[in-house]
Chains A and B, each alone.
Chain A
Amino acid sequence: MNNFSIKDVLKKNVMAIALLVIYVFFTIMTGGNMFTSSNVASLIDQNAYVFILGTGMLMCMLTGGNIDLSVGSFVCFMGAIVGIFSVENKIIHSAASVPAVLLIAIAVGLAYGALLGFLIAYMRIPPWIATLAGYLAFRGLGTQILITASETSAISNFPDGFLKIFSGKIFESGYDTMNIPCIVLGVLGAGAVIVLNLMGRAKKIKKGYSADPLWFVILKSVLIAAIIMVIAVQLSWDGGLPVVVLWIIAILVIYGIITEKTTIGRHFTTVGGNAETARLSGINNKLVMFCAYLNMALLTVLASLIVTARFGSANAFAGQNFELDAIAACIVGGVSAYGGSGTVVGMVIGAALIGVINQGMSLMSIDQDTIKIVKGLVLLAAVVFEIVSKKGNKKQ
């Protein structure tokens, strides 16, 4: 179509390109170590929670730059709750079945989310104060539950049924053989991307809408498919496809659709863009705020289950600084600190960028503290970039 330009495409995907460049940079700097199967697998495993919490945080931030500081503590608390119900301990002497435990977890998450949403949306308590209280309270409660429940102040020996839902590999195989199911799933995924892209374009053309040129769609699809295949092959040499990948994909796809393609997502961005306009356009602002925090709590529950399953234990240190990781992923991913704009894809790239920097620098045996400094500076640079580019836009 006439208004297609390569420059715009590059401009829109500057973060994705940055991610690619940084990944290649670290791969070279680590002598290819970054690109081994086990490191690709652990990159995904270690950062699974960031994607999920980042999604929740994105929804909160869309409504006006609001954040939730309590997610890390709530992860710890939920780990403890799940622990005492699914493993025999000093508080509850007989373990509940896995479905029952999951129901309990969801119920607790709903309760906290509803309370938080009520305080913030209807009582108008500033979000960061309400969640700061949660930050303090849940860390204490979680730790206390764990201490009371077990002498080691950690609960482990989770039932296999539980672990299998949130961790491990699908059709796990040995480390020196290629895992066929993983490859098959990869091929299916890659194929789906190509087919969906092409079909989407065909539909557009049929209806007479404007569409990107064919070569571009093919190039884009092939590129994404290639990335999927590379990851799939890497994972197949590391025992198979991790279960968390399915969770991550499910959450990202669902929320990607919600934010991009539904009226609900539109409501969120509008409230953050201009609350008064939203109200006069028939949107219930309070309900939107309420939902943002209810949703955040539910996703935090999921993140907690994944983290607990990954370590196979619930401990008092779980979830420390998770809120910072989630916020950083959003900010680096171009989510506005004032609300109103931001995408799931952006957040994913932001999370991946931080994850890659983290892992790359660790593999280069740079110490954790320098990594912290670099992470902080990346975050600052991302915000300043956003502010400056907005100013530039206005001047035009």
Chain B
Amino acid sequence: MAKVLLEMKSITKTFPGVKALDNVNLQVEEGEIHALVGENGAGKSTLMNVLSGIYPYGTYEGDIVYDGEVCEFHKIKDSEKKGIVIIHQELALIPYMTIGENMFLGNEQGSKWCIDWNKTYAEADKYLAMVGLTDSSKTLIKDIGTGKQQLVEIAKALAKNARLLILDEPTSSLNETDSRALLDLMKKLQKEQGMTMIIISHKLNEVSYVADKITVVRDGSTIETMDAKTEEISEARIIKGMVGREITDRFPKRHDVPIGDVMMQVKHWTVFHPEFAERKVVDDVSINVRSGEVVGIYGLMGAGRTELAMSIFGRSYGIGISGTLELKGKNVVLRSPKQAIEAGIAYVTEDRKGNGLVLSNSIKTNTTLANLKAISNATFIDKDKEYLVAEEYREKLKTKTPSVEQLVGNLSGGNQQKVLLAKWMFANPDVLILDEPTRGIDVGAKYEIYCIINDLAKAGKSVIMISSELPEVIGMSDRIYIMNQARIVGEMKASDATQENIMACIVKSGSEA
């Protein structure tokens, strides 16, 4: 039995209004690669932020026992001193600095008052060699690709004498080859240096490839830990742990409405990444949706779902978009979100705070933002009408707020999501694309959102629901597309769909690639 390096005991962390972590326990043995898996918002990143001191000691409950002693980390430097180094999902690199400068940021070589650049670069080259990067340490970060940047992050961590390395979604922005190289590097570090690592990932094939142990986190709690030594860990097994709950009752009954004609049809849709022009983020996708139908698109993070939706929505994402888009049987070309809205498409973003709502504005103004025409007369806004509209939607969606003059920033996640839905419902679209409509909101609010979706379908709208929650997709949709690695890899009726056969689609497509 190997020595336990890290033990997190009954960690509880609350944010105003939300319990992000509830009595979480985690045990990591020295020299193992331990994976944390779970849905978005399950609390994985929060847990790691507690561990690395970003949420300082005192803001959470519970104990962190590291290397046999109870630790109190007040800031990042405290945990780094002990050899706990976290590599964040968004790379923490400065584009206009060299690799070497970045690697030793906050850990400068030489004394505080005299940085020894020669030593810095020599040391940098040493660690770069360790991670198998051949570029000079004097290259600027902005001149190397994301794959190499990720390696620099690891080299940076090694330079800090890391004993426990935490990688938060390290492959989320990498392509297959780079991802595989990174995972192999992890294995190499484990073997050659006995490095202990925690990896957070959505890509289950990678997790099962690299991890010795897998802990499943769900709704702020650790559900179970699987050990590769004692049992065969397949992707299906992990998914069972991740989503393994009953699908009954959580979804409102669908209204029995006939499904109409094809409302929107997308054919051979291909989109390239706006910054890395060679990368296809959507590859020859063809989908359609009928009126009164709820179509689910299931896929893991980074499968290209959001990219697909946003590129359809007036080319608001991506470059080199090709393919055809038909609305009600007519070919249309939508060049801007404005044209898309006018054509009857609405895109309800997954990132409601970042690009869905204006947090500093009231519920009222947010509700009418996408359809100001309907409440104005030759650009003059009818404020009373606007108020009534906002009130109407507040009642319809049961948004909990003292008044529609309330600032959206002051609402809970679920209520914000309702305002966002109200905004796009008021735009009166024929097709609503809902991107992760229930992310990060509590169970009660989720149920209400599902009811709204059903009502929309009943009213003859076409709904495309993008989600990475399998039960949700199966429970809510009439038809399901399965997306993986930028392509649609399967389509099935909801009545035929089970968690097992949907996962089988993904596993199959993954092994083909």
Contacts and interface: CB of A to CB of B under 8 A. Distances in A.
A–B contact via C-beta, under 8 angstroms: yes
Contact size range, B:
35 or more
A365 interface: no
Contacts of B70: none
Given A261-B380, A274-B358, A282-B338, A266 B403 contact: no
* Chain B interface helix/strand/loop/mixed: helix
B361 A273 contact: yes
A281 B337 contact: yes
Contact of B316 (A273, A279, A394): A279
Interface stretch (B30-38, B239-247, B349-357, B453-461): B349-357
Given A274-B355, A276-B355, A281 B316 contact: no
Interface string A328-343: 0000000010001100
A362 interface: no
A280 B337 contact: yes
B359 A284 contact: no
Contact of A270 (B313, B341, B369, B388): B369
A169 B18 CA distance: 64
A3 B403 contact: yes
Interface string B369-388: 11011001001110110011
B352 to A, nearest CB: 9
A105 B347 CA distance: 45
Contacts of A277: 355-358, 369
B456 to A, nearest CB: 19
A215 interface: no
A7 interface: no
B336 interface: yes
B319 interface: no
A262 B381 contact: yes
Contact of B336 (A273, A276, A282, A396): A282
A207 B359 CA distance: 30
A280 B358 contact: no
A280 B381 contact: no
Contacts of B347: 280
A358 B490 CA distance: 73
A244 to B, nearest CB: 27
Contacts of A341: 360-361
Contacts of B370: 281-282
B409 interface: yes
Interface string B336-347: 111011100001
A393 interface: yes
B417 to A, nearest CB: 14
Most chain B CB within a 10 A radius of its CB, from A261, A270, A274, A276: A274
A217 B424 CA distance: 35
A191 to B, nearest CB: 24
Given A280-B316, A282-B336, A393-B410, A274 B357 contact: yes
Contacts of A263: 372-373, 376, 379, 381
A353 to B, nearest CB: 24
Contacts of A284: 336, 338
B365 interface: yes
B355 A280 contact: yes
Contact of B360 (A209, A266, A273): A273
A204 interface: yes
Contacts of A204: 384
A263 B360 CA distance: 18
Contact of B384 (A209, A340, A394): A209
16 contacts: A3-B403, A209-B387, A257-B380, A262-B376, A262-B379, A263-B372, A270-B358, A274-B359, A276-B355, A277-B358, A280-B349, A281-B337, A282-B314, A340-B360, A340-B361, A341-B361
